[in-house]
Amino acid sequence: MLAKAIKRSRIVRFLIDLRLTVVCLALLFVLTFLGTVHQYSFGLYSAQKEYFESFFTLVGGLLPLPGAQLVLWVLFVNLVAATIYRFSYKAKRVGILIIHGGLFALFFGMFFTQYFAQESFLELAEGEGRNVSTDYFHWELAVWDADAATRRVAAVDLADLEATGSVRIEEYEIELALERVYHNAEAYMTQAEAGERERLNSSGIGLFQELRVSSDPQENFPGVLATVSGAGARVPLILYSRDLAPTSFLLGERRLSASLRRKAYQMPLTVTLQDFRAEFYPNSDVPASFESDVLVTAPGSDRTVRISMNSPFRFEGYTFYQASYRIDATGSEWSTLAVVENRSRLVPYIGTGILGLGLAVHFTQVLAKRTRREGARNAA
Amino acid sequence: MRRSISGAAARRAVVAALLVGIAALGGTQDAQEQLDPLRTYARGELRLDSLVSLKPILIVDNGRTMPMDSYARNLLLRLSGRRSYQGMVPIEWLARVLFTPGEVREDTVFLIENPEVLVALGLDASEGRDRYSLAFVLDGIEELERLAAQAGQISEDARTLVDREVLRLWNNVGVFVNVTRTMAFTYPDPAFAVDQAGAAARLGLPGANTYSYLDIALKQAVVREAASAATSAHTGSGEFSPADQTMVRLAQNLALWRETWSGLPLPVLPVASFGEVTWLSPWQALDARNLSGQAGEHVAAIEAELLTLRDMQIAYLEGRQLRFDLAARSLAESVRTRMAGQADLPDPRLEVAYNTIDPLARAELIFLLGAFALMAWLVAPARDRRPLTAESSGSGGNGGGAQVALPPLTNGQHANGWRSTLRRRLGLEGGARPLFARIALWALLIGFVPLTAGILMRMAVSGRPPVTNLFETFVFVAWAAALGGLIYARLYRNLIGPAVGIGGGLLMLALSGKFGADGDTLPVLQAVLDTNFWLSTHVTIITLGYAACVVAGIVGRIYMVQLARWPERERDFEGVYRNLFAALAFGLTLSFIGTLLGGVWADQSWGRFWGWDPKENGALLIVLWSALLFHAKLAKLIGKFGMAAGSALLTIVVMFAWFGINLLGVGLHSYGFIDGVLTGLVAYTFAEVAFVTVVGRIYRSRRRASLASRTSTAPSAPPTAVEPAAEPEVVGAGGGRDRGLPV
């Protein structure tokens, strides 16, 4: 009774309407096309922010459209509603039903990845080991005790700090205040202007020149003017994202280090690059393959792993991929591994499997039906 | 051997002089012509009949080990955009450039598509040609160098068409000049004249003469030793003997040539050290440092190979076929023997055979004949021409259906022997089809053979699945369209089969020619693509999805025209509609599965299932558009005509996803940038939209008129053009009754 009433309600009738599906598919089509063209001028990151991960977008700054996220959510609700109220659950429709079940899995995988997966990278020189990976886009201000035997780092996300202006770090009993952020800057050695206190920097930087912020966030190198206060003293700092070394200073009795660095993520294991090899096709600089031998150290485990193109290494929801490499001026080889933490990575696989199964069932059903029909006609 | 050095000495000295002339990019041409007996000599009767023995010699280019024949083809295509030069096959042209460089200055091999480049170089652009000779380009060489250096500074994305053309021309001129110089190591040169009998004896040379770089470089250890002994003697005595002077000069010239010419091409001499194979050019092989890691017998073998190269040069100049063939074979044999156990050299014979047969071009030619037959059918006398609706839907009972019904086929009529059975099985039964339709179908069937063979040969040569680059996607879709057309023709006796097979096949092969025009069509793979599993699943399926969508587009257009022309006979075209529906369903399925498999591959390779990469988006657009059509039909927002129009427009989406994306030049998948195709794509889009609009309007007005006339003349008759209430199901391969199908 109630179910029927719900089914007749206007909102449900709207949500299960096939025309809503058509409108959403059309919008998604338009957004995908616009986003793809947008990439040509503004890069992938910008296209993702404007079209694919947004709820609303202004095309060319003029035409307002729902973003792909909104459309996908509506489409998802539409699918859920149709599953409950519209689909006919008959044996002959089972193929179509399985196909839409596969879509469910794909939607889940997509939303889960969107909101919970973490992508970062790890750049290692031969012989180097790390247990933190670094973010592609985000920066953080990190402070630690310069003299302590084990480094305990207190870090604040630059974007958060920019929003709040200052933050208190209890561990070192200091206050970190942000005075100015240059989102993309060039650094100069020039001394501070008259009347201004000299700011500390390990590389001798004294001045930033603001640069245009690139649409590709990997091309932006920020700098900050910040003040650390605590133990009755104030230390003005100038920190650059390309500083060669952290800046150390005395605050009361304690010597602290600070640096502006890519946001770091703790990993449950340490990865040490033992050997990197790149093979090239004969007489050319086209790489035929590249691979890294790494030593993986985790509590209770210690082994060598080979990571190469198309053959990643997986560990507890983390996956390590051979992404690229470089050879620096001194001739040492650096290997870049992409690190992805995604606990739902198998969901799209399952969705693909279900969808394939559904299509197979559907086609078999259609074929069987045709054969039956033709058989009946021949008999007649 | 030595005899021939002195024999050909005079001739070759002049070639060397000419080469130096080219090297300096100066010198007056007249003087060179006077000095050049080679020109008259090579133009005489003594010429090689065949260069077959040169074809299989292995060479490395762009990282791939290939036969010289392929190298010649790619080089000629790269320089001139052509597959032959003035009637010469590529290997003949290459041999001419290599062995008689004096003759090629006036050869018009450089393709300059953009006349602005000519103007910028200060060259005469009035002639309106688009291929130019080295001599012509040399007049503007300084400006070309300057412009190329400028263009090289600009990042790749920001280069204009002219920048790219300038760079291409500069590189091409460089490559061409380098190839003309390649064999100069065999030419006697004044730099290696030994005027002292004593010095000659010390070097083990037959006497005072002008020798080649090759002759002296083979004695480089003796020369160096003698030169350093002479230098130290000089510091002691303060005096050079004439023999010492010669030695010091030879040593200096050796060092000079070694450093200057080490970049010259033709890497045909492989050496292996520490498991890594490097291919040396003759010039690099003459640099002892490159052979330092080699065993003594290998060094001796390489020196022998260098001498056979000279043998080939001499035999070519003298037009001695047997000597040339023996030298070429001995070079190939020696390389193979030397590398046995050290590296896997490919067998060049299959690729040479592929080049020689050129199966794809043959298929294209046969399809072209088939296309003519199809066109002839369109203009043929009416009694031999039946509309495409020959296959009528189930009832076929109304007046329209009866007109177009085919004479029924009696099975007993042709039951004599296997040939008849085969013909019937293939749907080629005489009498049932008009003559030209049969010719078209035969063309499709015959053309399919070399097409399939071509794809199989390419797979055998590369050891890869059928599709690994953009060029191959077109070939594969041509194959799929031809196969689809054949299957369709086997099931239904109308012309849709041959039209789809020949039309699709011809179009795709023509496009593949366009996309293969920038060089090697069997290039090495980027590391990330180097996995046969994903290439054979994801890439093949997505390409088949393209094919199904293209077929849906063709059938959709046929259906639209039919409905617009005979709006009252919609029932007769029911079978065509069902085929359209099936093709579209296949397109959606294959694109969807292919896209998802691409996601799985992406997750395996770089850790994300979906990243909004342009090529992924392109595949998604196809999926979204076809899903949109099915849902819109289900929601009754569009009818059958709308489905057909949507399928026609789907081809625009497919073109965009397939190679429009590559034109945008971003993303992980962009494996080629093709100028000029963008214009074609935009024009195609406009044409397609115009087609759909015009046919749509005609359909609407005619349908209205047809309905109106029906209602006025026979108000009781049920209108034939209304849609049947039942939705057609997604069907496998076509539907409807099929009276031509043999049991």
- Alpha-carbon gap, residue B610 to A132, rounded angstroms: 25
pLDDT at B502 over 60: yes
Asked whether residue B42 is domain-assigned, the answer is: no
pLDDT at B426 over 50: no
Instruction: With CB atoms and an 8 Å threshold, state whether B664 touches A37.
Output: yes
Distance from CA of A283 to the nearest CA of B (A): 6
How many beta-carbon pairs under 8 angstroms link A with B?
161
| A308 closest CA partner among A285, A333, A336, A289 | A289
ipTM: 0.86
Asked whether residue B90 is domain-assigned, the answer is: no
Instruction: With CB atoms and an 8 Å threshold, state whether A36 touches B62.
Output: no
**Residues in chain A where the model's pLDDT stays below 70:** 1, 191-197, 380
- Domain extent at residue B547: 541-713
Instruction: With CB atoms and an 8 Å threshold, state whether A338 touches B606.
Output: yes
Domains of chain A: 2-116+351-379 (no CATH), 119-128+267-341 (2.60.98.40), 134-265 (no CATH)
pLDDT for res B267: 93
B-chain residues near A340 (CB < 8 A): 607-608
Asked whether residue B262 is domain-assigned, the answer is: yes
Answer for the pair A20, A14: CB distance below 8 angstroms, yes or no.
yes
Are residue B363 and residue B287 in the same domain, yes or no?
A: no
Task: Please write the tens of the pLDDT for every residue from B94-135.
Answer: 999 999 888 888 899 998 877 888 888 888 877 667 889 999
Are residue B455 and residue B479 in the same domain, yes or no?
A: yes
Confidence band of B335 (pLDDT split at 50, 70, 90): very high
Among A283, A319, A325, A374, the strongest candidate for a mutation testing the B interface, having the largest count of B CBs within 10 A, is: A283
- Among B527, B596, B607, whose Cβ lies nearest the Cβ of A312? B607
pLDDT for res A197: 61
Asked whether residue B525 is domain-assigned, the answer is: no
Task: Please write the tens of the pLDDT for every residue from B155-183.
Answer: 776 777 788 889 989 999 999 999 999 99
Confidence band of B709 (pLDDT split at 50, 70, 90): confident
Instruction: With CB atoms and an 8 Å threshold, state whether A287 touches B634.
Output: no
- Alpha-carbon gap, residue B501 to B244, rounded angstroms: 77
- Among B267, B531, B593, whose Cβ lies nearest the Cβ of A359? B593
pLDDT for res B456: 95
Q: Which residues contact B342 (CB under 8 A, 6 or more apart)?
A: B272, B277
In chain B, % of residues over pLDDT 90: 36
pLDDT for res A152: 83
**Comparison of pLDDT for B304 and A253, the residue scoring more:** B304
A-chain residues near B624 (CB < 8 A): 25, 28-29, 32
pLDDT at B517 over 60: yes
**Could you tell me how many helices (H) and strands (E) chain A has, helices first?**
7, 18
Instruction: With CB atoms and an 8 Å threshold, state whether A32 touches B63.
Output: no
Q: Pick the range with the lowest mean pLDDT from A256-270, B72-86, B528-542.
A: B528-542
Task: Please write the tens of the pLDDT for every residue from B181-198.
Answer: 999 899 888 889 888 888
Distance from CA of A226 to the nearest CA of B (A): 36
Distance from CA of A165 to the nearest CA of B (A): 34
Average pLDDT over residues B696-710: 86
Among B530, B536, B608, B670, the strongest candidate for a mutation testing the A interface, having the largest count of A CBs within 10 A, is: B608
Are residue B368 and residue B223 in the same domain, yes or no?
A: no
Asked whether residue B95 is domain-assigned, the answer is: no
Q: Any bridge partners for residue B579, and if so which?
A: none
Task: Please write the tens of the pLDDT for every residue from B243-260.
Answer: 888 888 999 999 999 988
B646 lies within 8 A of chain A by CB: no
Average pLDDT over residues B635-664: 90
Which segments within chain A are labelled E, that is strand? 56-59, 63-66, 118-125, 129-145, 154-157, 166-169, 174-182, 185-188, 207-210, 223-230, 233-240, 247-251, 254-280, 287-298, 301-308, 313-315, 318-327, 333-341
- Among A312, A355, A362, whose Cβ lies nearest the Cβ of B604? A312
Are residue B483 and residue B500 in the same domain, yes or no?
A: yes
Mean pLDDT score across all residues of chain B: 79
In chain B, % of residues over pLDDT 70: 79
Are residue B263 and residue B329 in the same domain, yes or no?
A: yes
Block residue for tokens 């076809």: B626
Confidence band of B498 (pLDDT split at 50, 70, 90): confident
Confidence band of B409 (pLDDT split at 50, 70, 90): very low
Specify the number of domains making up chain B. 3
Are residue B333 and residue B446 in the same domain, yes or no?
A: no
pLDDT at B66 over 80: yes
B606 lies within 8 A of chain A by CB: yes
> Last residue of a domain, which of B485, B518, B551?
B518
pLDDT for res B722: 40
Asked whether residue B532 is domain-assigned, the answer is: no
Angle between helical axes of B296-318 and B321-339 (0-180°, round to 10): 160
Are residue B604 and residue B619 in the same domain, yes or no?
A: yes
Are residue B612 and residue B574 in the same domain, yes or no?
A: yes
Are residue B302 and residue B218 in the same domain, yes or no?
A: yes
As a 3-state breakdown, chain A gives helix, strand, coil percent values, each rounded to 5, of: 35, 40, 25
Distance from CA of A324 to the nearest CA of B (A): 10
Instruction: With CB atoms and an 8 Å threshold, state whether A288 touches B597.
Output: no
Distance from CA of B286 to the nearest CA of A (A): 17
Task: Please write the tens of the pLDDT for every residue from B117-128.
Answer: 888 888 887 766
CA of B600: which chain A residue's CA is closest? A349
Average pLDDT over residues B497-506: 90
Q: How distant, in Å, are the alpha carbons of B15, B89, B185, B317, B553 from that of B98?
A: 11, 14, 12, 11, 49
Asked whether residue B23 is domain-assigned, the answer is: no
Structure tokens at A268: 């449950």
C-alpha count within 13 angstroms, C-beta hemisphere, residue B5: 23
CA of A52: which chain B residue's CA is closest? B612
Q: Which phi and psi angles does B212 have, rounded to 5°? A: -95, 165
Instruction: Classify the C-alpha dihedral B192-B194-B198-B201 as positive or negative.
Output: positive
Answer for the pair B600, A304: CB distance below 8 angstroms, yes or no.
no
pLDDT at B33 over 50: no
Confidence band of B419 (pLDDT split at 50, 70, 90): low
CA of A322: which chain B residue's CA is closest? B606
- Alpha-carbon gap, residue B114 to B135, rounded angstroms: 19
Confidence band of B686 (pLDDT split at 50, 70, 90): very high
B638 lies within 8 A of chain A by CB: no
**Angle at CA of residue A314, ends A312 and A315, nearest 5°:** 155
Confidence band of B454 (pLDDT split at 50, 70, 90): very high
Are residue B364 and residue B308 in the same domain, yes or no?
A: no
pLDDT at B740 over 70: no
Are residue B554 and residue B699 in the same domain, yes or no?
A: yes
Are residue B362 and residue B229 in the same domain, yes or no?
A: no
pLDDT for res B370: 93
B158 lies within 8 A of chain A by CB: no
**Could you tell me how many helices (H) and strands (E) chain B has, helices first?**
30, 8
Cα distance between the two ends of chain B: 74
**Angle at CA of residue B76, ends B334 and B269, nearest 5°:** 20
Average pLDDT over residues B573-595: 90
**Angle at CA of residue B167, ends B165 and B173, nearest 5°:** 100
pLDDT at B311 over 80: yes
pLDDT at B28 over 60: no
A-chain residues near B270 (CB < 8 A): 282
- Among A22, A283, A342, whose Cβ lies nearest the Cβ of B278? A283
- Alpha-carbon gap, residue B157 to B165, rounded angstroms: 14
Confidence band of B449 (pLDDT split at 50, 70, 90): very high
Asked whether residue B83 is domain-assigned, the answer is: no
